[in-house]
Amino acid sequence: MSLKRRSFLKGAAGGGAALATAAVVSAPAQARPNKVMPPQAVGLLYDSTLCVGCKACVAGCKEANDLPVDVSTPDALWDTPLDIGPKTFNVIKVYAEGTADTKDQEKNGFAFIKKSCMHCVDPSCVSVCPVTAMTKHPQTGIVEYNADACIGCRYCVASCPFGVPQSEFDTPTPKIMKCEMCKHRQAEGKIPMCAEVCPTGATIFGPIPALTEEINRRKAMKAGEANVFERRVIGSGDTHERPAAKYLDHVYGEKEVAGTQFRHMSAVSFTKLGYPELREQSYSSQSEGIQHSLYQGMIAPVVVLGGLVWAAKRASHIEDEHPEE
């Protein structure tokens, strides 16, 4: 009676899992605190009520990052991205309900929403990357990607709660593609292209403290009254006037998963606009606690290896006692 390979593997896996579980139970994982905003963090504010859906930001982003067309129709006549992807770093989507007569209204209304990298304060993509191909700039907080360091594991793709990092699939040497807040333009003293080309100031760039101050100013506005809105960058002096909207109190990105550097204001619920409801604790703070508990002192790997060795010896012993005829 020989021990079949499947039985051996099942026994080994079961024994190793049991030993690893026992190790974790004896030393429970502790989540670390959320990381905090970098000292010179910059970011973007997107105001859905100011967006007219022109998609200048989509075209400008492609120009600034040398991205190809992204077609979704059989005739392939136009650049028609349906979502972010390897060829599109930011996209404008629309919410519409009922007759869709009134802008920024949930019932029988419509609203625009922008999707791009959120540049999380405590990013999951950075936490899971085994080779530091994903990093967060210690001053600006921009979540950056180094293609030369990447090994193509795509852990970043699986870990992002916003579904942002995207992998190429049409090349033998695929890279991860995502918004890096036009860091190459910032190095030249310019601002992200999506903010540069936005005609209404729906997307605006600046230091996080200044963006926070602007958010509070807009939330205090009385709906329907004329107010001044800046364009392109906070403090630019480039302004226009229009009636204020009835903003939601919730600013998306202020608290979600420890906060992000891309903030959203809207008059329509963010769940209806396609953004997920997320907790305030970052996922990386919890997952790193589990990882550190498992690998502290290499206890879990050692006990699992020990279980495999034990299973192999036991299988060998059974083989010796019951050789095949």
Report yes or no: 114 and 203 within 8 Å, Cβ to Cβ.
Answer: yes
Confidence category of residue 312, pLDDT binned at 50, 70, 90: low
Confidence category of residue 13, pLDDT binned at 50, 70, 90: very low
Helix (H) or strand (E) holding 11: helix 5-26
Res. 245: pLDDT tops 70: yes
pLDDT of residue 149: 98
The phi, psi pair for 88, rounded to 5°, reads: -145, 115
Res. 291: pLDDT tops 90: no
Report yes or no: 234 and 211 within 8 Å, Cβ to Cβ.
Answer: yes
Share of the chain above pLDDT 70, in %: 80
Q: Which two tokens stand for residue 207?
A: 């230091």
pLDDT of residue 20: 46
Which structural domains are found in the chain, ordered by start?
5-33+285-321 (no CATH), 42-280 (3.30.70.20)
Res. 22: pLDDT tops 80: no
Q: Which two tokens stand for residue 72?
A: 């979704």
Res. 2: pLDDT tops 50: no
Report yes or no: 259 and 281 within 8 Å, Cβ to Cβ.
Answer: no
255/272 Cα distance (integer angstroms) = 19
pLDDT of residue 1: 44
Res. 3: pLDDT tops 60: no
User: 177-203: per-residue pLDDT in tens?
Assistant: 999 999 999 999 999 999 999 999 999
Report yes or no: 142 and 302 within 8 Å, Cβ to Cβ.
Answer: no
pLDDT of residue 205: 98
Q: Which of 100, 88, 48, 124 is nearest to 281 (CA)?
A: 124
39/102 Cα distance (integer angstroms) = 41
Which residues neighbour 296 within 8 Å (Cβ) at sequence distance 6 or greater?
27
Measured at the CA of 256, the angle between CA 185 and CA 190, to 5 degrees, comes to 10
Which residues neighbour 159 within 8 Å (Cβ) at sequence distance 6 or greater?
124, 125, 127, 128, 283, 284
Q: Which of 258, 222, 263 is nearest to 243 (CA)?
A: 222
Q: Which two tokens stand for residue 320?
A: 């010796």
Confidence category of residue 287, pLDDT binned at 50, 70, 90: confident
User: 65-109: per-residue pLDDT in tens?
Assistant: 999 999 999 999 999 999 999 999 999 999 999 999 999 999 999
Identify the residue with better confidence: 273 or 31. Answer: 273
Average of pLDDT values for 274-284? 97
pLDDT of residue 324: 56
Which residues neighbour 234 within 8 Å (Cβ) at sequence distance 6 or greater?
204, 205, 206, 207, 210, 211, 214
Bridge pairing between strands 262-265 and 42-47: parallel
Per-chain mean pLDDT for the chain: 88
Max distance between CA atoms of the chain, in angstroms, equals 93
pLDDT of residue 288: 86
pLDDT of residue 9: 45
pLDDT of residue 85: 97
Exposure string over 93-107, b if 16+ CB within 10 A, otherwise e: eebeeeeeeebbbbe
Res. 280: pLDDT tops 90: yes
Q: How far is Cα of residue 102 from the mean position of the Cα atoms in its chain?
A: 31
pLDDT of residue 30: 78
pLDDT of residue 301: 57
